[in-house]
């Protein structure tokens, strides 16, 4: 895990059990209409109205913290003494969907399995709020959290748009000469808002979740607003990652964002970042959401191990 050399671990799908499970998932994902049209905004409005729901043990508590920007943090801690380590969770959803319930389930999972506190950022979303709203929220949230937790004890986890936000957060922290977190965990990070990186073209129709028939997926464009898609704080594939913390990247080979992970990985290696890229053959965008997939279970175990190793340092 500590090696700085490129590590590409591929897992094939050979058993009939996996094949059936995978086939059902692909059929389900291709049936979702909201990903490919304006229904995405309706999903965003719908989920934004949902009240937070956590399964708390008797020694745990949930707090909602309002930020000055208008965003909020949902904080899962112990009743008495806070944990030493914290996960700062930056959710996905194309910057148009807020903090949905499965991220709260992930927060419970992190808390119970890793013995950490979990702060989930419910950042402002498009189309009402465009760049740099979510980034401003992430920075303010981080500034608030480091008043209680040491940066070297904070793990930032982001999937899809949340992976974009995790990277741009660290770019902003470096720009402001602030201490970065201990490590980054990126699941299918979204790195290119110009949608010109290789697999946006070659795998656009292959991707069962984000794919399209003709032209580019409209899913992510609203957050861009008037920003330049070549700006590293918008599209981190254009950044250099000098001084970045240890990073774990997980991505499927059947998603159009695959080349973003390749580019980010290579640029991190070029800047001597301790990075590991794990490619899951045949898997789709943020497959970790689906617990019944064997590869999802394996991906989660890898994340837990990555964090445990760095907690003990």
Residues that are catalytic: 160, 255
Q: What share of the chain is helix, strand, coil (3-state, %, to 5)?
A: 40, 15, 45
The alpha carbon dihedral of 283, 288, 290, 291 has a sign of positive
Asked if 160 and 289 touch (Cβ cutoff 8 Å), the reply is: no
The answer to whether the peptide bond before residue 296 is cis (omega within 30 degrees of 0) is: no
- Residue 286: beta bridge partners? none
Burial class (CB in 10 A: 0-12, 13-18, 19+), 221: middle
Distance between alpha carbon 52 and the CA centroid of its chain, in Å?
Answer: 19
- Residues 181, 182, 187, 188, CA torsion sign: positive
In sequence order, what are the beta bridge partners of 280?
Answer: 252
């Amino acid at each position: 895990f500590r090696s700085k050399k490129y590590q590409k671990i591929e897992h094939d799908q050979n058993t009939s059990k996996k094949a059936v499970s995978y086939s059902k998932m692909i059929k389900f994902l291709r049936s979702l209409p909201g990903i490919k049209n304006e229904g995405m905004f309706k999903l965003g409005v719908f989920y934004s109205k949902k009240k937070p729901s956590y399964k708390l043990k008797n020694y745990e508590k949930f707090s909602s913290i309002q930020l000055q920007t208008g965003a909020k943090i949902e904080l899962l801690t112990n009743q008495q003494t806070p944990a030493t380590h914290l996960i700062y969770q930056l959710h996905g959803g194309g910057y148009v969907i807020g903090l949905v319930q499965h991220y709260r389930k992930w927060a419970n999972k992190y808390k119970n399995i890793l013995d950490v506190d979990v702060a989930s950022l419910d950042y402002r979303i498009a189309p009402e709020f465009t760049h740099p709203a979510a980034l401003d929220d992430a920075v303010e949230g981080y500034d608030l959290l480091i008043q209680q937790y040491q940066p070297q004890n904070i793990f930032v986890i982001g999937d899809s748009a949340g992976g974009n936000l995790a990277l741009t957060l660290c770019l902003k922290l470096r720009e402001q000469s602030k201490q970065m977190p201990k490590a980054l965990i990126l699941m299918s990070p979204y790195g290119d808002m110009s949608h010109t990186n290789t697999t946006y073209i070659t795998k656009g129709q292959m991707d069962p979740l984000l794919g399209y028939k003709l032209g580019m997926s409209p899913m992510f464009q609203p957050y861009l607003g008037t920003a330049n898609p070549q700006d590293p704080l918008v599209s981190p594939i254009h950044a250099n990652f000098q001084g970045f913390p240890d990073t774990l990247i997980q991505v499927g080979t059947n998603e159009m964002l695959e080349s973003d992970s390749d580019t980010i990985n290579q640029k991190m290696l070029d800047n001597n970042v301790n990075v590991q890229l794990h490619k899951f053959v045949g898997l789709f965008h943020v497959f970790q959401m689906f617990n019944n997939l064997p590869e999802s279970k394996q991906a989660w175990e890898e994340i837990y191990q990555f964090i445990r190793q760095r907690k003990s340092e």
